[in-house]
Amino acid sequence: MGGTIKAVENPKLSLNMFSPQDVQRLHAATLEVIEQVGIRFPSRRAQEIWASHGAQVDSKTGIVKAPAHLVESALKKAPPVYTLAARDEKQDLPLDGRHVWVGTDGCGVEIIDLYTNERRRSKLQDVEEIARVADALEQVAFHWVALSAQDKPAHTRGLHEIAAVWRNSTKHVQTESIYNVAEAKAAVEMATVVAGSREALRKRPVLSLMQCTAPPLGHDGGSLDAALIGAEAGLPVGFMTMAACLTTGPATLAGNLVVGNAEVVAGTALIQLAYPGAPVFYAAAQTASDLRSGAYTGGGPEDFLFGAANGILADFYNIPISMGAFATGAKEPNWQAGLENSLSTFMASIVVSDMLLGVGFLHGSRIWSFEQMLMDCEIYEIVRRTLAGIEVNHETLALDTIKAVGPGGNFLSQKHTRAHMREIFVPEYLDRRPYNVWEEKKDGPRDWARKKARNLVETHQPDPLDPAVTRELERIIAAEEA
């Protein structure tokens, strides 16, 4: 059986970021953009759905202008609460607005090899090993496809990737790497095999689909079609905006939120028009582009503010969110990585982002590092404990113990101390040793993380997939490759 999963649950801390009027203004601006400027939907099927519901569709440009009432009424059909199912039922993840679940990040193209320490191109074996380590870690609740299986053919790569994760983990799989009709159909077929039947899949979706928007104010045709296929089968689907200040969005944070929100809201409304009541989620990884290079930064104060703001918008629409946190721009696990990933995770967690992406990446989600993955889990653990806040009651006030010790004594030998000491955080990757010990060994958190990752890759045995299921998954992929 799979291990337990640790979540941020009902945080005691809270954030006061927007007034209700602020949120209303963001929403109103979003509707104005969708109605007057329009969103590009380069998919015939999507355009037909919009047109049949009375939206104005320009078939030449693919731009859809939808009236506010149509968008708003569609969004109301989205279920506020549902569950991401896992192969192991005990690892199911309720998206109930009370939990933050962390996933592995995706989808990168390179990896720092765990044994040679060299950076190299990613392959299927990496997807398998990352899934196996994630299966073992209590902080990781679900998977994104972490790396692109570049040793597999481009047109079935996404299928090889999800099969690899299922073979190596009992946890939920959310893929961000399936964005065309053929692969989406095959993925649904594969998920059906894992779940047992079409009906079982609808009840317990072991797969969810995340599609990227094409900012500003656009979608990708293949992604739209894939999302519609997923939604038809009952797979939770979400659209992720990465609209970034300066380049794909306005320089101002509120303006960039409007652009991103318009993409997500319009995409989500489309799914509800096609399949009312289908499970959907908001997804975002907004940031500011670097002023010098224009590159996506994945860090900095703007990024942290978006981390909370998108969650607040998703709450306003009453749908779960899959939120991009972590994803440092640092080139190696270092000061920058610790700073960026801590703050982004804190801000996204305090507003209870249901799904948090994700542990393990360097250089803006491009280079996988097992060291970073394990240290990210520790960051999450620290955030999780911080958000739990301070409980004040008779037992925690410890008055009896304080009276027993009195001035000048110590609390070490108190029964109360022993009863509660395991609530105190014990770090795995913070160096609290005496200076001379460090001086002698000159090792540190990265070394310890690497050691643990190697150990997990070599020894962790996930609950195997039924061989018959494995064969069936292989058959489906082979049929696509033929």
Partner 1 sequence: MSKDLFDAMRQSVIDGDPDLAAELAQKAIDQGIDPVVALNEGFVPGVNYVGEQFGLGEMFLPELVVAGEAMKAAVATLEPEFAKRGTERQILGKVVIGTIEGDIHEIGKTLVATMLSASGFQVYDLGVDVPIMKFVEKAREVNADIIGISALLTTTMVRQKDVIEALQDNNMATKVMVGGAPVTQSWAKEIGAHGYSEDAVGAVAVAKNLMGLA
| Binding positions for partner 1, rule: CB under 8 A | 42, 107, 109-110, 120-121, 148, 150, 154-155, 157, 179, 214, 218, 220-221, 246-248, 251, 289-296, 366
CB 183 within 8 A of CB 159: yes
Residue closer to partner 1, measured from CB, 294 or 389: 294
Compare residues 21 and 293 and give the one whose CB is closer to partner 1.
293
- 279 vs 298, beta carbon nearer partner 1: 298
Asked if 167 and 139 touch (Cβ cutoff 8 Å), the reply is no
Q: How far is the CB of 338 from partner 1 (least distance, A)?
A: 23
CB atoms closer than 10 angstroms to residue 51:
13
* Cβ atoms 192, 233 nearer than 8 A: yes
Whole-number minimum distance, CB 176 to partner 1, in Å? Answer: 11
Q: Are 70 and 54 in contact (CB under 8 A)?
A: yes
Q: Which one, 218 or 299, has the nearer CB to partner 1?
A: 218
Q: Give the tokens for residue 150.
A: 């570049």
Q: How far is CA 378 from CA 120, 171, 286, 326, 386, in A?
A: 26, 20, 24, 12, 12
In the complex, the smallest distance separating the C-beta of residue 339 from partner 1, rounded to whole angstroms, is 21
CB of 58 to partner 1, least distance (A): 17
Q: Give the residue with the Cβ less far from partner 1, 248 or 272.
A: 248
**Could you tell me the smallest distance in angstroms from the CB atom of residue 151 to partner 1?**
11
Which residue is associated with the tokens 């440009």?
Answer: 61
Taking the complex as a whole, the smallest distance from the CB of residue 214 to partner 1 amounts, in Å, to 6
By beta-carbon proximity to partner 1, the closer residue of 6 and 219 is: 219
Contact (CB, 8 A) for 282 and 319:
yes
In 72-197, DSSP assigns E strands to 82-84, 93-95, 99-104, 110-112, 119-121, 140-143, 172-175
The tokens describing 468, both together, are: 């018959």
Minimum gap (Å) between residue 276 Cβ and partner 1: 29
Give 139 or 256: the residue with its C-beta nearer to partner 1: 256
Q: How far is the CB of 331 from partner 1 (least distance, A)?
A: 12
CA-to-CA distance for 305 and 312, rounded, in angstroms? 11
Torsion angle (degrees, nearest 10) of CA 407, 412, 413, 419: 120
Nearest to partner 1 of 141, 190 (CB atom) = 190
Residue number, 155 or 441, with CB nearest to partner 1: 155
Distance between CA 77 and CA 82 in Å, rounded?
13
Q: Given CA atoms 141, 146, 151, 157 in this order, what sign does their dihedral have?
A: positive
Closer CB to partner 1, 137 or 242, in the complex? 242
Peptide bond into 107 cis (omega under 30): yes
Q: Count the neighbouring beta carbons within 10 Å of the beta carbon of residue 21.
A: 8
94 strand-pairing partners = 83
CB 295 → partner 1: shortest distance, Å?
Answer: 6
Min dist CB 297 to partner 1, Å, is 12
Smallest CA-to-CA distance from 18 within 266, 311, 302, 277 is with 311
Report helix, strand or coil for 442.
Answer: coil
Q: Tell me how far apart the alpha carbons of residues 32 and 129 are, in angstroms, rounded to a whole number.
A: 46
Q: Residue 105 or 110: which CB sits closer to partner 1?
A: 110
Nearer to partner 1 among residue 162 and residue 195 (C-beta): 162
Who contacts 131 (Cβ-Cβ below 8 Å, separation ≥6)?
104, 143, 146, 164, 165, 167, 168, 169, 462
Least distance CB 166 / partner 1 (angstroms): 21
Angle at 83 between CA 69 and CA 327, to 5 degrees: 85
Q: What is the closest distance, in whole angstroms, from the C-beta atom of residue 162 to partner 1 in the complex?
A: 15
Tell me the backbone φ, ψ of residue 17, rounded to 5 degrees: -110, -45
Nearer to partner 1, 248 or 322 (CB): 248
Rounded Cα–Cα distance for residues 64 and 354 (Å) = 30
To partner 1, the closest distance from the beta carbon of 64 in angstroms equals 16
